[in-house]
Amino acid sequence: MSENAKADVSGYSFEKAVAELESIVARLERGDVALDESISIYERGEALKKHCEALLSAAENRIEKIRLDRAGKPQGTEVLDGA
């Protein structure tokens, strides 16, 4: 992986990472990027994709659902089981 791709993305917000990833995809789709640069920005895109996946996974783990009692009033929360 090139140095550009290795540049730290861990501090990026999800939105910033997605925006950069979209920019990379657009550049690659246009096809006007030199081969070496295409490889470099593709690797950067992979790093951004992995970062986004990690952020989404962390967010999913924090999501909770509200438990209701028999009267339909909130009683507490529990971890969302993904169902």
Is the distance from CB of 36 to CB of 44 less than 8 angstroms? no
Task: Report the chain's mean pLDDT, rounded to a whole number.
Answer: 85
* Tens-digit pLDDT profile for residues 18-51: 999 999 999 999 999 999 999 999 999 999 999 9
Residue 24's domain comprises 3-79
The band of 64, judged by pLDDT with boundaries at 50, 70 and 90, is confident
Is the distance from CB of 65 to CB of 77 less than 8 angstroms? yes
The band of 82, judged by pLDDT with boundaries at 50, 70 and 90, is low
Count of domains forming the chain: 1
Q: pTM of the predicted model, to two decimals?
A: 0.70
